[in-house]
Amino acid sequence: MNTSCVKELKDKPPIMKEANQMAMPQLVQREEWSKERTLLHRYIKEEGGTAKDVARVLGRSQSLISLYINGKCNESEELREKVHAFLQSRGMVERPQVKEVVTDADFVTSIDELPFIETNDVKRIRYVLKKAASKKKFGIIAGNPGLGKTEALKAYMKANPGTSLYIRCKTTHTIKSLLETIADALGLSDKGTSSRLQRRIEKQLKQTPRFLIFDEADLLKTAEKYEVLRDIYDEVGCIGIALCGNFALAETLIDLADMRPELKRLADRAPYHQRLQGPSREEVEQLLERVNLTPAARKLMIHIAMNPRKGGLRNCMEILDVLLDITEGRAITEDMVMQIGQINLTANA
């Protein structure tokens, strides 16, 4: 049950409300809490506020507020806005400053003009890459498609020229074709048997150690291919390896590794791993700040960027790329987003 706690408790008799509250879904993880939930929790738990007073001001039940501040229910947009206004009234959130009128000249006209946002996911990716590279270990990065993993990997390589090797995995990779791809990336001959290719790769990496980054590593799927990477790592003895892919990668190499010895050997060498959370609302708003969007269009674009089922941040950027070319800084409407979004989703189906 993934509806908001407000909708769950609204318009029901008190007895039914209490029953629903006892059967709420799993806890909302603390790292996923909004700023509003976090600050209201602090206000009640640390600064002497009471759930009863908050509930009275917000026009909600005391039990609902207790569930909310303890992360025991999801958060509707309506409740988040009401809590935000309450926190403003208590001086815990600054009131927005009146901004200068934005002219057409201030709006971006190309996706290339958008600012680079240092999201929490970018920080998580960089942490794993730095640790795996410096400590000569395996690192695992897992997240939904469309979160910008590939761009973050390429940004790391650009910032560390000559030290890393980027390899994109494919569903068609066999053990031999994977070794051929690694050999090509190292500038080596890709001729010969799998064992000869592996020895050639290991010899080269011993002479010139490189940090190996495997993107879309979940596509390798079979334990035998991961074992080949673990063999190379063990034989060379002086390199780090990063595996980046969707959540199936973490499930295979971390969650289920204890049940398969061949995967456990790799998992034991991977102390650095992160599951990506997706962009926060504040991060998306910051990214779209200078885009000329109507309020309804802005709300829809934020929804797309934050929803993996809608294509996530990647789809948001692809839609925006098309719309900016069309409008050249003029206002983008909700209908435009829906039209181009539908075309984009169909094209990527």
Each residue's pLDDT tens digit, 83-112: 888 888 777 776 555 444 444 558 999 988
Q: What is the mean pLDDT of residues 154-160?
A: 89
Look at 26-30, 101-105, 164-168, 241-245 and tell me which has the smallest mean pLDDT: 101-105
The CATH topology of domain 279-347 is Helicase, Ruva Protein; domain 3 (1.10.8)
The Cα diameter of the chain in Å comes to 76
Identify which has the larger pLDDT, 13 or 316: 316
Distances (CA, A) of 281 to 40, 73, 198, 287, 302: 18, 18, 46, 10, 7
Sole residue written with tokens 């790769």: 201
Segments making up each domain of the chain, as ranges: 5-89, 137-275, 279-347
C-alpha 206/C-alpha 3 separation (Å) is 54
Six-digit token string for 157: 């390589």
Sole residue written with tokens 């990506």: 276
The CATH topology of domain 5-89 is 434 Repressor (Amino-terminal Domain) (1.10.260)
- How do strand 211-215 and strand 164-168 relate by DSSP bridges? parallel
pLDDT tens per residue, range 22-74: 444 457 777 678 888 888 888 888 777 888 888 888 888 999 989 988 888 88
Please compute, for residue 22, the number of CA atoms within 13 A of its CA located in the half-sphere on the CB side.
5
Of 1.10.760.10, 3.20.20.80, 3.30.70.260, 3.40.50.300, the CATH number of 137-275 is: 3.40.50.300
